[in-house]
Structure 1
Amino acid sequence: MRLLEIIFENFLWKSRLLVLIAVVMSLFASLLLFLAGVYEIIYPVIKLVDTGDYEIFQRKILASVISSLDLFLIATFLIIFSLGLYELFISKIDPAERDQRSSRILIVRNLEDLKMKLGKIVIMVLSVYFFKQALFFNFTQSIDFLFFGLGLVSIALALYLSHREHLEEKEHKHH
């Protein structure tokens, strides 16, 4: 009976390696999103060179830059997600621990740490998406302005609360 328990527990422990599938696929998706972000910026330039129509370029470039920001932020989210999953379930990333220049955002200590880091990126993605939608929104009624203002206040509040928590963490570490 003890042998069966040992075999099962070894199998159970090694099953955590399934997380590698999520790590690799998230990194692959991140690469694809970075490439899509680059394409978003280059496409209007190609159109300008091809057609010579500067008006189309002017209208398209701002939307393209904002779209690429969204793609880059989501790609960054996926990288942090991959690193966090790997560190939590597989192994610490030794080069990250040794690198004095590396950003602390890439080091994940526990699941709560990963959730906080990813949550902040989600707030940024939503902020950029809101900005993109606001650029092309057709304000027809005064209530539209009210809802737009409420949206801005909500985003500002979310950014403030996430930043305040970061400041409280810093203050707590100094004491």
Structure 2
Amino acid sequence: MKLIEALFEGALWKSRFIVILAVVFAVLGAISLFAVASADIWKMVVVTWNVFVNNAHPENFHENLIGKIIGAIDLYLIGVVLLIFAFGIYELFISEIDEANNSEVGDSILAVHSLDELKSKLGNVIVMVLIVIFFKKVIHMHFETPLDMLYLAVGIFALALSLYFMHKSHAVHEKEAEEEN
């Protein structure tokens, strides 16, 4: 019976390596998002250059330029979410990343020691993605009534409040980490 238990537990423990699929595809997804975002910005650089060279200012040029750049930032941030996810689950399920441990910034950016810490890091970046999406939508909105402006103000207040609580939560976690050391 001990042999069966040992074999089963060994197989169960080794099954954690299935997360390698999530790690590899999250990194590939991040690379794809970075490439697409970079291509989008490059296209806007070319369009902007042509506007200056030809001295032809298309209608809504500024709105379109800012919208495309903010859209690219959004893609970069989602790529960062994928990287944090990949590094985090790798460290939680497989092994610590030696290169990150030997790096000056590796510990502060990517070190994940618990699922709660991974959720916190992902949550912070996801909130930033939502803020960028909100900003992108606001740029293309047309405010026609005072109620529209009130909705905008409430949205900005909600974002500011979420950033405040994120910062406050981060400060509490840092203080707890210092007390543990």
Does the residue aligned with 1:55 lie in a helix, a strand or coil?
coil
* Alignment map for 1:76-155 (pairs within 5 Å): 76-102=80-106, 104-155=108-159
User: TM-score by structure 1 length?
Assistant: 0.91
Q: What's the offset of the Cα at 1:50? A: 6.4
Q: What's the offset of the Cα at 1:144? A: 1.5
Aligned equivalents of 1:101, 1:132: Cα separation in 2 = 30
Deviations, residues 115-136 of structure 1 (Å, cap 9, x unaligned): 0000000110000110000000
Q: Is the 8 A contact 2:101 2:107 kept in 1?
A: no
Does the residue aligned with 1:12 lie in a helix, a strand or coil?
helix
* Alignment map for 1:1-175 (pairs within 5 Å): 1-48=1-48, 52=54, 53-55=56-58, 57-102=61-106, 104-175=108-179
Q: Is the 8 A contact 2:40 2:68 kept in 1?
A: yes
Structure 1 portions without partners, runs of 5+: none
Q: What's the offset of the Cα at 1:93? A: 0.7
When residues 154 and 15 of structure 1 are mapped into structure 2, their CA distance, relative to the original with a 3 A threshold, is same
- Deviation larger for 100-109 or 66-75: 100-109
Q: What's the offset of the Cα at 1:148? A: 1.2
Q: Is the 8 A contact 2:100 2:106 kept in 1?
A: yes
- Deviation larger for 11-20 or 139-148: 139-148
Q: What's the offset of the Cα at 1:5? A: 1.8
Deviations, residues 127-161 of structure 1 (Å, cap 9, x unaligned): 01100000001222222211111111111011010
Q: Which amino acid aligns with 2:72?
A: S
Structure 2 portions without partners, runs of 5+: none
Aligned equivalents of 2:81, 2:71: Cα separation in 1 = 15
Q: What's the offset of the Cα at 1:100? A: 2.7
User: TM-score by structure 2 length?
Assistant: 0.88
Q: What's the offset of the Cα at 1:9? A: 1.3
Q: Which amino acid aligns with 1:93?
A: I
How many percent identity over aligned positions? 36
Q: Is the 8 A contact 1:120 1:162 kept in 2?
A: yes
Q: Is the 8 A contact 1:108 1:114 kept in 2?
A: yes
